[in-house]
Amino acid sequence: MMEQARANCGATVKAAAPRWAWRRAGRCAPGEDVRVRSVWTRGRAIAALAVLTAGLLAFHRAVPNSVGRLGSLLEAFLPWLGLVIVVLFGGALLRRSATAVVALLMPVAAWMHLFGGLLLPGAKPGGHDLVVVQHNVSDENTDPAGTARALADAEPDVIALEELVPPALPVYEKTLAPDYPYHAVRGTVGLWSRYPLTDTRLLDIKPQGIAEAWSRGLRTVVHTPHGEIAAYVAHLPSVRVRASGLASSWRDESAGLLGKAVAAEKLRAVILLGDLNGTVDDRGLAPLTSRMNGAERGFAFSFPAAFPLARIDQVMARSATVAHIRTLPATGSDHLPVAARITLRAAP
C-alpha cells in the first residue's frame, strides 16, 4: 500500500496544476510526502467531535431548556466532558492524527477555563476562617449516632443536616451536644453550632405543586467571634432523569424562593448550606449562584455515595469566600458529607 502511494506521488500531471487537483486525482503534489499528508487528513471525525465538545463546554448556556430541560441535564454532568476529551485524545493517538490533536486543544482550553481552578491547592487558612459541614443524613440512615460522630470528627464550627426524621433527631441532638451546644431544627433540616444562634425562623421554600406537609428550610443567625452571619439551611426538591429529559420544575421553583430570601437578607455575611439537588453549573440554581459565591477549590462530588458523579450538596456564601470544599468519608447515607472552609471578609 505504501509503495502504491509513493508511486502515486511520483506520477506526473501538468506541473502548473494546483495542489487540490493532485489530491482529487488521488495523488500527492510534487514534493509532498504521503506520510506527512496522512497525519493531517486522518482523524477528521475525532476532530469534529473535539470541536463539538468544545462548543458544549464554552456555550452550554445556549443549549435550550425548553425541551426536557436538556441544558440543565448537560450542566449537571458538565465536568465529565473532561473524560470525553481523554477518550478522544486516545483515539487521536491511535489514528496518529495531527488534525485531531490540534482540534483537541479547544475543548482542553474550555475545560480548564471552567474547572481548572478547582484543581489548584487551597490557600493556607487565614485568621478569620469558619469550617462548616453539610450533609444529607438520609431518612433511611440506620446509624445516626455513628454519622453524628463522623461529622464531629472533622471538627467543624457549624454542621448542617437534612432529612432529619423524628426517630433519629434525639440521637443527633444527644451525640452532638457536647461539642455543639447550640442547635436549631425546623421541619427536616437543622443546624448545630459551637456559637450561639438567635432569630431562628422557618424558611418557606415549598413549591405550589406540593400539597402535603413540607418544611425544608430555616434561617438563623450565628454569632461567631468575627461577627454575625446569617445561616440558611435548605433541602430543595429532588430531580428525576426520565426518558423525556430532566424533571426539575419543583426544584427550580424552590430555588427561586430561596434566592429571593437570600436577596432580602439584611445581614451582610450569609452562608447557605444544603442539599440543593443541583450542581453550581446548573442554570436551575441561577437564583442562588447569581447572588452567592461557590467553592473556589475542590470538586467534592457527593452523590451518589457509592459512586459520586456530582456535587449536589452545596456550600455558598455572600460577602465571604468558600475557599475550599472536600468530601468526608461515607456514612450511613446515600450522600457523602462535604466540609468547606469559609474565609470571612473584613467589615468595610
Read off the pLDDT of residues 152-208 as tens digits, 9 standing for 90 and up.
Answer: 999 999 999 999 999 999 999 999 999 999 999 999 999 999 999 999 999 999 999
What is the value of pTM for the model shown? 0.86
Is the pLDDT at 35 greater than 60, yes or no?
A: no
In whole angstroms, what is the distance from residue 293 CA to residue 24 CA?
56
Q: Is 183 helix (H, G, I), strand (E, B) or coil?
A: strand
Is the pLDDT at 4 greater than 70, yes or no?
A: no
In which band, very low, low, confident or very high, does the pLDDT at 32 lie, cut at 50, 70 and 90?
Answer: low
First and final C-alpha spacing in the chain: 75
| Domains recognised in the chain with CATH numbers | 2-118 (no CATH), 123-344 (3.60.10.10)
Amino acid identity, residue 225?
A: P
Q: Is 196 helix (H, G, I), strand (E, B) or coil?
A: coil
The pLDDT value recorded for residue 121 is: 83
Q: Is 57 helix (H, G, I), strand (E, B) or coil?
A: helix
In whole angstroms, what is the distance from residue 241 CA to residue 249 CA?
12
Which residue matches cell numbers 454532568?
A: 77
Which one, of 193, 119, 207, 182, lies nearest residue 160 by Cα? 193
In whole angstroms, what is the distance from residue 77 CA to residue 63 CA?
14
In which band, very low, low, confident or very high, does the pLDDT at 10 lie, cut at 50, 70 and 90?
Answer: very low
- Between 262 and 226, residue with greater pLDDT: 262
The pLDDT value recorded for residue 144 is: 98
CB 27 within 8 A of CB 34: no
Read off the pLDDT of residues 287-311 as tens digits, 9 standing for 90 and up.
Answer: 999 999 999 999 999 999 999 999 9
In whole angstroms, what is the distance from residue 279 CA to residue 72 CA?
9
The pLDDT value recorded for residue 11 is: 46
Residue 41, burial from CB neighbour count under 10 angstroms (0-12, 13-18, 19+): exposed
In whole angstroms, what is the distance from residue 94 CA to residue 304 CA?
34
In whole angstroms, what is the distance from residue 71 CA to residue 26 CA?
44
Helices (H), 142-212: 144-152, 169-176
Which one, of 276, 264, 278, 277, lies nearest residue 318 by Cα? 264
The pLDDT value recorded for residue 42 is: 86
Which of these ranges, 1-15, 131-145, 268-282, 302-316, has the smallest mean pLDDT?
1-15
The pLDDT value recorded for residue 30 is: 59
Is the pLDDT at 346 greater than 80, yes or no?
A: no
Beta strands 227-235 and 270-275: pairing type? parallel
CB 235 within 8 A of CB 189: yes
CA geometry: angle 216, 217, 220, nearest 5 deg: 150
DSSP state at residue 306: T
In whole angstroms, what is the distance from residue 57 CA to residue 339 CA?
28
Is the pLDDT at 65 greater than 50, yes or no?
A: yes
Contacts of 113 (CB under 8 A, 6+ apart): 58
Cell of 258: 430561596
Helices (H), 209-278: 249-263
Q: If you average pLDDT over every residue of the chain, what do you get?
A: 90
The pLDDT value recorded for residue 2 is: 45
Read off the pLDDT of residues 84-138 as tens digits, 9 standing for 90 and up.
Answer: 999 999 999 998 999 999 999 999 999 999 999 999 886 666 656 899 999 999 9
